[in-house]
Structure 1
Amino acid sequence: MKISARNVLKGKVVAVEMGAVNAEVLIEVAPGIEVASIITKAAFEKLELAVGKEAYAVLKASNVMVAVD
């Protein structure tokens, strides 16, 4: 796989919540650290995702927000 995004985090799918059109996929990239993504149901099926399967969280953003309490 070659990709232009600089932030590629390898992990394991730990949870999936299917909707009518979209799927929310939770990927654990390190112990206790999870990344959530909402993708189309079609993409979920094409990637053959399932809980326990290895996957990559690919992040490409022009903005990163920082907040404090």
Structure 2
Amino acid sequence: MMQLSARNVLPGKVIEITPGAVNVEVIIEIAPGVEIASIITKQACENLQLKKGMSAYAAIKASNVMIAVP
């Protein structure tokens, strides 16, 4: 099993894959109505063999979380 240093690893399901010129936007649903978007390279998408409907993890590692209000 792979281990990560990221503290936030959220299991979910790939619900959308949108290819661009260089990168791919991947949307993972982590709970009903709760989605996380990630921009990855086309090569990474191919290497991971991502497909709509498959299980995947959103691994989040950030030193800062910003909060904004309207």
Give the TM-score normalised by structure 1.
0.96
Describe the SS at the equivalent of 2:21.
Answer: coil
Match of 2:21 in 1: 20
Amino acid at match of 2:41: T
- Give the number of aligned pairs: 69
Give the TM-score normalised by structure 2.
0.95
Identity among equivalent pairs (%)? 64
Describe the SS at the equivalent of 1:46.
Answer: helix
Structure 2: gaps (5+ residues): none
Amino acid at match of 2:11: K
C-alpha distance in 2 between matches for 1:49 and 1:22? 13
C-alpha distance in 2 between matches for 1:20 and 1:50? 18
Match of 1:10 in 2: 11
Structure 1: gaps (5+ residues): none
C-alpha distance in 1 between matches for 2:29 and 2:14? 6
Show structure 1 runs of 4+ deviating over 2 A.
none
C-alpha deviation, 1:21, in angstroms: 1.1
Match of 1:47 in 2: 48
C-alpha distance in 1 between matches for 2:48 and 2:4? 16
